Homo-oligomer: A and B are copies of this chain.
Amino acid sequence: MEIRQCTDKDWPAIFGFYSATMKDGRSYAFPEGQGLEEARPWWMEQPPGQTVAAVAAGEIVGSAKMGPNRPGRGGHIATASFLVDPRHQDQGVGRALGEYVLGWARSEGYRGIQFNAVVETNLPAVHLWQSIGFQIIGTVPGAFDHPEHGLVGLHVMFQEL
């Protein structure tokens, strides 16, 4: 698997699993039902951030976006978001993207990485982030409207670098 920076041309391929993930409704508090162009700025980051693609056998199987979590006096903490094509889950794509983001944030001089809203029932994601060094800082109760479980918590997760 190769992880490389995205270009605008990659967006239609990523949008396929972006929109499937948002429609599924189990992992992101993002708008649902967005069109291709409407969704583009929600995923394709501008510098100093970036968006990358995970490529396997010539196909984009996942993507991550990353950048400063806040401007100004919070700009030394990074954040990131992750998508794995549902057809390529359980193949280590999320882990590879997570480790890429850790390396990117270290090389860019960030002092830590914060995930602002990890759905507490998304246990594969919670456990993956814990396995690469993230801790749960706190959980906002009932902050996510899950299609099966109703109102569930959103974890704030963090790792110092």
Contacts of A151 in B (CB 8 A): 76, 111
Cβ of A82 within 8 Å of any chain B Cβ, yes or no, is no
Are B137 and A138 interface neighbours, CB within 8 A? yes
Q: How far is the CA of A160 from the CA of B142 in the complex (A)?
A: 9
Task: Verify A144–B30 contact, CB threshold 8 A.
Answer: no
Contacts A25-B73, A28-B73, A73-B146 supplied; 20 other A-B pairs, CB < 8 Å:
A22-B72, A25-B72, A28-B72, A29-B71, A29-B72, A29-B74, A29-B75, A30-B71, A31-B71, A32-B72, A69-B143, A73-B145, A77-B142, A114-B140, A137-B139, A138-B138, A138-B139, A141-B158, A142-B160, A156-B156
**Residues of A in contact, count (CB < 8 Å):** 37
Q: Main SS of chain A's interface residues? A: strand
Copies of this chain, complex-wide, total 2
The residues of B that contact A73 with a CB separation of less than 8 Å are 25, 28-29, 144-146
Q: Which residues of B contact A74 (CB under 8 A)?
A: 29, 117, 143-145, 154
